[in-house]
Amino acid sequence: MIRKYIKYSTVLSVTLFLALAVQAQVSTLYFMKNASTRHEMNPAYQPISNLYIDLPIIPSLMLSAGTNSLSLNDFIYPVRQPNGSYKTVWFKHSQQGIDDFYNQLKDVTRMHLEQDFGLLSVGLRYQQAYFTLGVKQRFFSAISFPKDMFTLPLKGSGPEGAEFNLDDLAFNASTYTEIALGYSREIDSRLTVGGKVKLLLGQFNSSMKTENFRINTSRERWDIDFNAKVNITLPSAQYIEKESEQKIHKIDFPDATFSDYLSPQGVGAALDLGATYKLLDNRLTLSASVLDLGFIRWSKKGTANLPIEAGFYYDGLKLEERDGKITDDKGNTNWFDDYFDSLGDSVQYTTSHNAYTTSVASKILIGGEYSIMDEKMTFGLLSKNMFTGQAFFAEITASANYFPVDWFDASLSYSLINGRSAIGLGLGTQFGPFNFFIASDYALTRLTKEFVPSHLRAANFQLGGILTFGRQQKKSLPPSLQEEE
């Protein structure tokens, strides 16, 4: 069971890095007025249209993932060959590459992956108020691991041995359905406020937090101590334990149907709050929002709690080759499996089935936008901060936004995060009742000859196709909405 958990966690962590992004929700969309669902980044924003309907025919989709310390060119990079050409190599190609990779690591490397898939969204204006209802499927995962996880395999333990501290190792992943009801209202010609209440229906969660993880090495032996809390919630899961032991050795899903996998295994709630305020004859708009302040309470059904304690040592294996096969000194060819089975036997835990609570990744956005050319062009600055419960991510984005006619707008952005920068693009169109928008904060401007975006620390995108109906004329619009027309 433990070996499988480690295996799947490792695969997922590699997947997270290869996704190679850092921030959720595309910042470039924040100032794009033709994006009908930008109120998801600030619930005070009101769409231009009187009514919009977003169906999963062309679904609204957002994908983002991330790391705070590494980008792909820290793993692979081009090396000039004697004939003048370049060859892409791994960082372990040379000692210098290993040193550069190691020095780039933070004390704790953190990564996350987030995906939103829109199922239904409706918005309606009534006088100076705007009502929204949205249903989406969301997935979020985060992992953190200390620098010492790389110290041992890359630098070794030294001739006298050393102690490696892996206490910051943690993992969390959740899948849930979000049902959000929003309300925005213009208080006066300057101030607009908004909020959303969200019902969260959780389907899956897996989390691990180490409380103690130390490796002590010497010439004679290695000693490993490990303590962690693991929680798993799976729909329709049946945890089969060994006889006379409260240890899981198998997970079954007897007679599970598709609807069973979608049934809630946890229930929670979240809150969004936002506001905008206009200054300097409405040329300058300040805005702020707090998103996803909430939690999910996972039920006992389908849940397993594993408080793990492990302590073992390694004093070497004597291997030799016999008849073309690698065996131990007793001639056993299954020495690898036997060794790891013995490690598994040293792991102690007692399975329980208790409810537990996880937080939702919350975000704080603060923005400013200045308009020129009779509102046809604006310049925006946005600070975005995300709290995952394990980590904090920060990003700042500057953008130039062009809105020459009411059926088209475009945005060019520049984002800075963790010392790396990238250029983003966004487009929004309106043809009859059809509103389409697409944006990314991190355009693929630098590629290797293998078409790998090696220099990007981030890569996200968001798109949507929405039906819109009605646009109030300027003479009948409230003052703050006249500027959007």
pLDDT at 98 (0 to 100): 81
DSSP state of 280: T
How many domains is the chain partitioned into structurally? Answer: 1
Instruction: Please name every residue paired with 210 in a beta bridge, in sequence order, or none if there are none.
Output: 228
Instruction: Please name every residue paired with 466 in a beta bridge, in sequence order, or none if there are none.
Output: 435
Structure tokens at 146: 């200390």
pLDDT at 480 (0 to 100): 45
Integer Cα distance of 337 and 345 in angstroms: 12
Task: Name the residue range of residue 33's domain.
Answer: 2-70+105-482
SS3 337: helix
SS3 399: strand
pLDDT at 300 (0 to 100): 82
Contact 27, 363 (CB under 8 A): no
Integer Cα distance of 359 and 389 in angstroms: 7
User: What CATH code is carried by the domain that includes residue 129?
Assistant: 2.40.160
Residue-by-residue pLDDT tens, the chain, 485 positions: 434 433 333 333 333 333 333 345 688 999 998 888 899 999 999 998 999 998 877 767 887 766 777 777 777 777 777 887 777 777 777 777 788 888 888 888 887 788 888 899 999 999 999 999 999 999 988 888 888 888 877 877 777 778 888 888 888 889 999 999 999 999 998 999 999 999 999 998 988 888 888 888 877 777 888 888 888 888 776 666 666 566 665 666 666 666 666 678 899 999 999 999 999 888 999 999 999 999 999 988 778 888 877 777 766 556 556 666 666 566 666 655 655 566 666 666 667 778 899 988 899 999 999 999 988 999 999 999 888 766 677 889 999 999 998 889 999 999 887 666 778 899 999 888 988 999 988 765 555 555 555 556 566 878 888 999 987 554 444 444 444 44
Instruction: Please name every residue paired with 319 in a beta bridge, in sequence order, or none if there are none.
Output: 328
- Domain annotation covers residue 99: no
- Domain annotation covers residue 89: no
pLDDT at 271 (0 to 100): 97
12-47 pLDDT, tens digit per residue, is 333 333 333 334 568 899 999 888 889 999 999 999
pLDDT at 458 (0 to 100): 62
Gyration radius (Cα) of the chain, Å: 26
- Domain annotation covers residue 79: no
- Domain annotation covers residue 326: yes
Pairing type for strands 191-217 and 163-165 reads: antiparallel
Q: Which residues contact 379 (CB under 8 A, 6 or more apart)?
A: 369, 370, 372, 398, 399, 400, 401
pLDDT at 261 (0 to 100): 64
CA 336 to chain centre: 35
Q: Could you give the maximum distance between any two Cα atoms of the chain, in Å?
A: 91
- Domain annotation covers residue 75: no
Structure tokens at 192: 């607009």
Integer Cα distance of 439 and 467 in angstroms: 18
Instruction: Please name every residue paired with 144 in a beta bridge, in sequence order, or none if there are none.
Output: 110, 170
pLDDT at 82 (0 to 100): 80
Contact 192, 46 (CB under 8 A): yes
- Domain annotation covers residue 203: yes
Integer Cα distance of 150 and 212 in angstroms: 18
359 sits in which H/E element: strand 356-359
Q: Which residues contact 54 (CB under 8 A, 6 or more apart)?
A: 36, 37, 60, 118, 120, 121, 122, 134, 464, 465, 466, 467
198-231 pLDDT, tens digit per residue, is 999 999 898 888 888 888 887 777 788 888 888 8
What number of CA atoms fall less than 13 Å from residue 374's CA on the CB side? 3
- The crossing angle, in degrees rounded to 10, of helices 335-345 and 2-19 is 100
- Domain annotation covers residue 305: yes
Structure tokens at 474: 């300027």
- Domain annotation covers residue 270: yes
pLDDT at 181 (0 to 100): 97
Average pLDDT, the chain: 79
Integer Cα distance of 202 and 380 in angstroms: 36
Contact 439, 28 (CB under 8 A): yes
Where helices occur in 302-395 by DSSP H, the ranges are 335-345
Region of 244 (left: φ > 0; alpha: ψ -120 to 50; beta: rest) is left
Structure tokens at 451: 């078409």
pLDDT at 367 (0 to 100): 96
Instruction: With CA atoms as reference, report the closest residue to 385 among 377, 375, 376, 393.
Output: 393
Integer Cα distance of 111 and 65 in angstroms: 7
Spell out the SS3 assignment of 424-442: EEEEEEEECCEEEEEEECC
The CA-based angle 447-397-18, given to 5 degrees, is 40
Contact 430, 463 (CB under 8 A): no
